[in-house]
Amino acid sequence: MAVIKWNRWGFPKMFDDSDWPTLTGWNDFMDFNTRGIDIYETNDSVVVEAQVPGIKEDDVEVTIEGNVLTINASAEETEEEKSKKKTVYKSTRQYCFNYSTSLPRMVQGDKAEAEVENGVVRITIPKTEKEKPNKIEIKKKSK
């Protein structure tokens, strides 16, 4: 038997209801609210911030190939941690985050810097000189 939510006019309401997925547990399964990537530019660089909650900086790998940025991060329990305890019940998850995106400008990948703080990896990549904004001087018209 399918469960269909009805609105007050008596018609099935299958779309337009942001609360409906939470009733089915869909948001818990997909975990939309904890994963994301933001890309923005400054005058000199492209900055990428990606959420990697629960991941240590040693478990994050960032690569730039041409104009494509790839972030891989994963965490799992080590054999040493497993041997220190007798597991009765385990509901912990393995975390794995994979992001791959084209950058909006040509960048100098060899000069990129990355850091992980509070579950967010922040990558700052300098733009190539050609991509940096140029200020054009306005010439005054002579009369």
Which has the minimum average pLDDT: 29-33, 34-38, 72-76?
29-33
| Strand ranges across the sheet with 120-126 | 37-41, 45-51, 120-126, 113-117
Q: For residues 142 and 56, what is the distance between their CA atoms, to the nearest angstrom?
A: 63
What are the tens digits of pLDDT across the range 2-29?
555 555 555 555 555 454 444 444 444 4
How confident is the model at residue 134, as a pLDDT? Answer: 81
Contact, 34 vs 26, CB < 8 A?
no
| H/E run at residue 21 | helix 20-24
Q: For residues 140 and 143, what is the distance between their CA atoms, to the nearest angstrom?
A: 9
Please, what are the domains in the chain? 35-131 (2.60.40.790)
